[in-house]
């Protein structure tokens, strides 16, 4: 393997890994903030215990997101210096703004939230966690603005002397039509991820009928969020597919293994392809499904891989412009399949929640549902990972669509040995940390929420600075 392949594997591995923690942070933060707010508003003990319990899990997840995020920022320059040089004028600004507007905000106010229990007025204290929520969302916006530009470059010109991309219109970059879809899709998916973690762990408790009062509350809140997010993400995804049909037709064609251009194309459900011959051996599909998905009409035309390849070869020169069809095709199906399963589970939750027996262990269907929930925690992670693999691998061979090929973005000065070393190093440390992180979360779940506090002590003399001992 050469440095290019290793660098691609490293980027894929570290990014997928980083994105286990990011959506969980984005999705858990608002839930922690909601529970904390409920506590400050009502003073009810169960909300205090929930804020504390989910807060602890959130902190573990957030820490992992932070430390793996630094790798992401450094990696562009380390392994992809030619790419960085080419896109820096446009890509760098959102990254810098992410640091200035989002990272400072979330890390500083998270410190205040963790250690501020004794120091800050309760209302001010609860505001700090909402600022963390704001920070995580602003951060997502800027990094997705950068990624959207790679998917669908806008607001730029190519410098005639150096050949670099030059910023022409920053507002266009920040309001990229691709970004509108991608940001909403990612945020809703993140909320679904947070909701399903909370739902899964609440289900674990309710199935065992432990701490029912506490986890009934968190299950109900999480169900509401899960319904909103899992249905919302599907609608936005549909919009994105339509946009993609114009912006990156090859990605849609590859995701559907649609080799030939077709009017009223079916939506493929299962296909076995022959990539050599560029055709499918087996293809079972929903009639006209793809036409509806991509164009909202029954007989809309969707371009096939072979025609697109011919058109690109003419436009950009003789080469293959076909992404790995098997990977794009199946990652799309995994994403949609997991998403549909999440919609089904959350809708069941909505019904049982509205009927008021979400925690009822004796109703047969409800018991099965509660038993399923912990396993369903895997669903959003599956969907998120598959979604990013589809997005990024479906764009190949481009790193910046239509402007720069991935093979031209790699660092010229970095040898195979260096990339191999860092790939091995990151993989090893990430592997160990994954075991530790899951172990800590499981431990936290087994320990359960903090003990309820009895009575109300007003004795101010015994106040110590105990909260500072949070570590």
Q: Which is nearer to other proteins, 269 or 432 (CB)?
A: 432
Least distance to other proteins, CB of residue 395, Å: 21
279 bridge partner residues: 274
282 bridge partner residues: 272
Q: Which is nearer to other proteins, 277 or 456 (CB)?
A: 456
Q: Which is nearer to other proteins, 298 or 432 (CB)?
A: 432
Least distance to other proteins, CB of residue 57, Å: 11
Q: Which is nearer to other proteins, 103 or 388 (CB)?
A: 103
CA distances from 151 to 10, 260, 402, 403 (A): 20, 24, 9, 10
Least distance to other proteins, CB of residue 54, Å: 14
The 3-state DSSP class for residue 284 equals: strand
Least distance to other proteins, CB of residue 88, Å: 2
| Run of H or E including 273 | strand 267-274
Q: For residue 211, which phi and psi values (nearest 5 degrees)?
A: 45, 45
Which of these, 224, 329, 217, 322, lies nearest to 271 by C-alpha position? 329
Least distance to other proteins, CB of residue 43, Å: 6
Do strands 165-167 and 262-263 pair parallel, antiparallel, or not at all (unpaired)?
A: unpaired
Least distance to other proteins, CB of residue 23, Å: 19
Q: Which is nearer to other proteins, 112 or 271 (CB)?
A: 112
CB atoms within 10 A of CB 336: 19
280 bridge partner residues: 273
- Cα–Cα distance for residue pair 206/252, rounded to 1 Å: 42
CA triple 143-15-344, angle to 5 deg: 85
157 bridge partner residues: 166
CA distances from 279 to 249, 260, 324, 325 (A): 17, 8, 13, 11
Q: Which is nearer to other proteins, 280 or 411 (CB)?
A: 411
Least distance to other proteins, CB of residue 45, Å: 9
The 3-state DSSP class for residue 402 equals: coil
Q: Which is nearer to other proteins, 117 or 348 (CB)?
A: 117
């Amino acid at each position: 393997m050469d440095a290019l392949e290793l660098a691609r594997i490293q980027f894929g591995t570290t990014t997928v890994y980083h994105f286990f923690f990011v959506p969980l942070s984005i999705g858990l933060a608002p839930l922690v903030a909601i529970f904390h707010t409920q506590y400050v508003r009502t003073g009810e003990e169960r909300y205090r215990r929930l804020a504390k319990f989910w807060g602890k899990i959130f902190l573990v997840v957030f820490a992992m997101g932070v430390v793996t995020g630094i790798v992401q920022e450094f990696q562009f320059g380390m392994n992809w210096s030619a790419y960085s040089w080419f896109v820096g004028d446009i890509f760098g600004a959102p990254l810098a703004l992410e640091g200035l507007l989002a990272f400072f905000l979330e890390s500083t106010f998270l410190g205040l939230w963790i250690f501020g229990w004794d120091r800050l007025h309760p209302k001010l204290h609860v505001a700090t966690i909402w600022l963390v929520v704001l920070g995580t969302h602003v951060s997502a916006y800027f990094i997705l603005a950068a990624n959207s530009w790679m998917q669908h470059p806008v607001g730029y010109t190519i410098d005639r002397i150096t050949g670099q991309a030059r910023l022409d219109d920053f507002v266009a970059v920040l309001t990229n039509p691709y970004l509108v879809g991608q940001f909403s899709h990612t945020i809703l998916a993140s909320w679904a991820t947070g909701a399903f973690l909370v739902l899964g762990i609440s289900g674990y408790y309710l199935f065992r009928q432990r701490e029912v009062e506490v986890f009934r509350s968190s299950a109900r809140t999480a169900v509401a969020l899960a319904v909103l997010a899992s249905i919302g993400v599907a609608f936005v995804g549909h919009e994105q597919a339509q946009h993609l049909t114009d912006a990156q037709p090859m990605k849609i064609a590859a995701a559907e293994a649609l080799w030939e251009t077709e009017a009223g194309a079916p939506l493929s459900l299962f296909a076995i392809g022959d990539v050599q011959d560029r055709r499918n051996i087996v293809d079972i599909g929903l009639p006209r499904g793809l036409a509806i998905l991509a164009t909202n009409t029954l007989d809309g035309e969707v371009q096939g891989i072979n025609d697109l390849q011919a058109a690109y070869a003419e436009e950009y020169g003789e080469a293959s412009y076909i992404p790995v069809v098997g990977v794009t095709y199946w990652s799309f199906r995994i994403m949609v399949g997991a998403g549909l399963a999440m919609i089904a589970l959350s809708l069941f939750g909505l019904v049982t929640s509205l009927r008021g027996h979400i925690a009822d262990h004796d109703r047969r269907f409800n018991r099965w549902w509660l038993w399923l929930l912990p396993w369903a925690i895997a669903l959003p992670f599956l969907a998120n990972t598959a979604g990013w693999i589809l997005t990024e691998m479906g764009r190949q061979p481009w790193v910046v669509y239509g402007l720069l090929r991935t093979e031209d973005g790699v660092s010229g000065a970095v040898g195979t040995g260096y990339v191999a070393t860092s790939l091995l190093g990151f993989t090893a440390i990430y592997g160990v940390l994954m075991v530790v992180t899951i172990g800590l979360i499981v431990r936290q779940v087994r320990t359960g929420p903090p003990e309820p506090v009895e009575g109300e002590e007003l004795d101010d003399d015994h106040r110590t600075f105990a909260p500072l001992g949070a570590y």
